[in-house]
Amino acid sequence: AQSVTQLGSHVSVSEGALVLLRCNYSSSVPPYLFWYVQYPNQGLQLLLKYTTGATLVKGINGFEAEFKKSETSFHLTKPSAHMSDAAEYFCAVSGLSGGYQKVTFGTGTKLQVIP
Amino acid sequence: DAGVTQSPTHLIKTRGQQVTLRCSPKSGHDTVSWYQQALGQGPQFIFQYYEEEERQRGNFPDRFSGHQFPNYSSELNVNALLLGDSALYLCASKTGLGNYEQYFGPGTRLTVT
């Protein structure tokens, strides 16, 4: 079984401030972890992913996330928020089971950037 | 190279009616998954198609059915629509069942009145 918990359904930051979106997961198999961004009335766009290897992964638009196995976390950060970062962000976990990749999404965190 | 496309963009139906949503996968992709995203929620997995067969299914009733065609495109059918079926329906495609990386389409917004 696997699950994802995103702490904070809404996060507000000032333009230029640090963005920190929290994600904790549970998985019975080695997880693959993802962050997706969704702009209003659009589909999901992959920001970054962790599969194996380096635990700090860099994605598009200046975002990065660190896989911490001991904390079962995969928090998303960006040093300086931009107005265009305002969107909803989803953390997801994927695990291989019986030859299939099963993907579970969190409930999302809506990021507001204040000018 | 076109990504994942879905049609229609928006749809309004009445309770009890049936609806068909369509998805064309990204070029080179052979596996299609469907997700339901209710307002304020994350996407919920409905089912996945590969080689024209349903391979995985989430916790959705039999009112939700699908099909995959030889060209890998797919349809999602929902019968006996309920108000609670109102959601954004997302299609995602990838290569092979074991691959973890999938690409999402823009979705179809279904409103049931």
Give the model confidence (pLDDT) of B38-96 as tens digits.
988 999 999 999 999 999 899 999 999 999 999 999 999 999 999 999 999 999 999 98
Q: Which residue of A has its CA nearest to B56?
A: A100
Mean pLDDT taken over chain A? 92
Q: Which residue has the tokens 């976990």?
A: A93
User: Does the structure show a pLDDT above 80 at B2?
Assistant: no
Tokens of B105: 């389409």
Cα–Cα distance list, B50 to A85, A91, B59, B94, B104 (Å): 35, 25, 19, 10, 16
Tell me whether residues A101 and B55 touch, CB distance under 8 A. no
From chain A, pick out residues whose CB is under 8 angstroms from the CB of B99. Answer: 101
Q: Please tell me the distance in Å from B79's CA to the nearest CA on chain A.
A: 24
- Identify the pLDDT of residue B93: 96
From chain B, pick out residues whose CB is under 8 angstroms from the CB of A104. Answer: 45
Q: Please tell me the distance in Å from B17's CA to the nearest CA on chain A.
A: 24
* 3-class secondary structure, A83: helix
- Identify the pLDDT of residue B1: 65
